Amino acid sequence: MRFHVEKTDGLARLGQLETAHGPVDTPVFMPVGTQATVKGLTPRQVEETGARLILGNTYHLALRPGDELIAELGGLHRFMAWDGPILTDSGGYQVFSLAQGCKIDDRAAVFRSHIDGALFELTPERAVRIQENLGSDIAMCLDECAPAGSSPEKLHDAVRRTIVWAARCRAVHRRTDQALFGIVQGGTAIELRRECAAALIEMDFPGYALGGFSVGEKPEEMLAMLGPTAQLLPPDRPRYLMGVGRPHDILAAVACGIDMFDCVLPTRNGRNAQAFTADGPIRLRNAQHKRDPSPIESGCECYACRHFSRAYLHHLFAADEMLGPTLLSLHNVAFYVRLMREIRQVIRAGEFAAFCQVRLARWSGTS
């Protein structure tokens, strides 16, 4: 993997990430394909939105159908019929958010599957092996994600363990066609973020992620930490903000020098009848859309906006038809892809700050 920054506008960066499955322009948003599928959409539909890089979930795929089976069938790209680049997370966040009865020590995280209660042990070495079996273009080190409100002692221990586990991941990673990223933890304590970043930089990873955000802290606390934390990282390596994806948070993070994003919001909100637009989100279940002949968003070139009215989409959700969630998910992914393309264009033109001001003004007062 290679990465270069082509242009900057303030701290915002325009770049390109070169992977084994093709180039990716940054800043970039990754649709989430948790179970080897972006929920409700075919790979062709995802591709037609302009999305290039998607995310797969190590924890879920290791549990079902199993990483060895996926390797046997030719790897994750072939398994899910996606020809573009794929990033897989390490399972650290899912250990934090989903695993039952988890016990963590320096050796491993041991927990029971949320599917069937079976005992599962995840070591740094196994996290790497799973991702090598999956064959993703970018893999993540196993980390410990401490929830918001953790004690200073808990945060410090999570950072120490994240560093220890990163070294073990680095030592066993073998695939030359796969880049391994380190993950900076530390909650909202800049001293711990600095300690973690310094240790990971010493290990010379090809890219770095910021983890432990959007885990229960106040949005203003996260935003206050992003700039100082991003600037701790090498300027010649990609910076990935994990799991953060509200549109206004993306603008703020790009302004801090972040290059990569992922979030379930486009498909999750689409399944719940919410569509993102340049004027803010709209809810298609609302009665005001029952007779509205206009598209979700004027000027949007996605399939949903080119062919269907708000009235039709309102009907689909009222009738509980599965096409409604599919069409709104498709639009929402296209919206995020278009937002990132617009961000890249205004960085190139040196107009990122003005773009943010206008867009945030249009979004203000919406929910």
Higher pLDDT, 95 or 334: 334
Q: In this model, does residue 366 exceed pLDDT 50?
A: no
**DSSP H or E segment with residue 8:** strand 2-9
Residues 216-259 pLDDT 10s = 899 999 999 999 999 999 999 999 999 999 999 999 999 999 99
Residue 190 burial class via C-beta count within 10 angstroms: exposed 0-12, middle 13-18, buried 19 and up? middle
Does residue 116 carry a catalytic annotation? no
Structure tokens at 177: 């066609």
Q: Regarding the domain delimited by 2-263, which CATH topology (the fold level of the hierarchy) does it fall under?
A: TIM Barrel (3.20.20)
Kindly give the residue spans of alpha helices, DSSP state H, lying in 183-271: 190-202, 219-230, 247-255, 265-271
pLDDT of residue 263 exceeding 80: yes
Q: Which of 143, 249, 259, 262 is catalytic?
A: 262
State the DSSP code for 186.
-
With beta carbons less than 8 A apart as the criterion, state whether 48 and 305 touch.
no
Catalytic residue (choose from 67, 89, 249, 259):
89
204 catalytically annotated: no
Going by pLDDT thresholds of 50, 70 and 90, the confidence category of residue 367 is very low
Tell me: pLDDT of 3 over 60.
Answer: yes
State the average pLDDT for the chain. 96
pLDDT digits (tens, 9 = 90+) for 264-288: 999 999 999 999 999 999 999 999 9
Q: CA 309 → CA 49, 315, 328, distances in Å?
A: 19, 10, 11
| pLDDT computed for residue 113 by the predictor | 87
pLDDT at 99: 62
Mind giving me the DSSP string for 320-362? T-THHHHHHHHHHHHHHHHHHHHHHHHHHHT-HHHHHHHHHHH
Residues 52-106 have pLDDT tens digits of: 999 999 999 999 999 999 999 999 999 999 999 999 999 887 777 776 678 999 9
CA distance 119 to 217: 30
Tell me, what's the pLDDT at 365?
Answer: 62
- Report CA Rg, the chain: 20
| pTM, full prediction | 0.97
Closest CA to 325 of 104, 333, 107: 333
Q: Does the structure show a pLDDT above 80 at 213?
A: yes
